[in-house]
Chain A
Amino acid sequence: DAGVIQSPRHEVTEMGQEVTLRCKPISGHNSLFWYRQTMMRGLELLIYFNNNVPIDDSGMPEDRFSAKMPNASFSTLKIQPSEPRDSAVYFCASTTGTLAKNIQYFGAGTRLSVL
């Protein structure tokens, strides 16, 4: 299995632009998580989906952030408009859920820089 695949690996954009991050979970996994990692705040859970349905989005910082999971093999995290304080590494993770005791498998991350 190729693992969790994220794209792009690096994104540099200007303030105000729309940014879309993509994630392909491991085949057969039914839960998907989006995290943000910064030096100041550490690893924060933004949102997670179970069977393509958003379960908990309490970590989404504000309305500029949105996430979708149109099918079991694809999810997007969109920031519009982007701001410099959104600069971070964004990780996607997936798990088979309670059947596997929730071991999460992480993608390589997208390093976002908003200028």
Chain B
Amino acid sequence: AQSVSQHNHHVILSEAASLELGCNYSYGGTVNLFWYVQYPGQHLQLLLKYFSGDPLVKGIKGFEAEFIKSKFSFNLRKPSVQWSDTAEYFCAVNVENRDDKIIFGKGTRLHILP
């Protein structure tokens, strides 16, 4: 079945640690890829996106993600996390030219210890 998988449900890190959150999808064809972030008590906001071109994309707040087509992956990274990065992170996929729907992963809760 077509799906978006986020491998880590809950991640706990100390400040300044490096972060990598995994995301894999199982859709064929051309895809648009997204990472959304939900800070405590808030709505989802777009963190970064990949449509085409350079597979390494940079988003807000020092986040970046790399699209590896052969691995069907779009992992999120940050070299040094801050306490304010505590949030839930969602990977999402839209299949190009199919419809407007995007499929979200289950999310990864990130907790940064001060």
Chain A interface residues toward B at CB < 8 A: 31, 33, 42-43, 45, 48, 50, 55-56, 91, 93, 95, 97-98, 101-109
Contact = CB atoms under 8 A, between A and B. Distances in A.
B42 A108 contact: yes
Given A43-B90, A43-B107, A103-B34, A91 B43 contact: yes
Interface of B: 32, 34, 42-46, 49, 51, 90, 94, 97, 99-107
A103 B49 contact: yes
A91 B99 CA distance: 20
Contact of A48 (B34, B100, B104): B100
B32 A107 contact: no
Nearest to B102: A102
Contacts of A95: 100
Contacts of A42: 104-107
Contacts of A97: 100
Nearest to A48: B101
A46 to B, nearest CB: 12
Contacts of B32: 101-102
Given A42-B106, A101-B94, A106 B99 contact: no
Please list the 9 inter-chain residue pairs (A to B) with the smallest Cβ-Cβ separation, ordered nearest first.
A42-B106, A106-B43, A31-B100, A106-B44, A102-B94, A97-B100, A43-B104, A108-B43, A101-B51
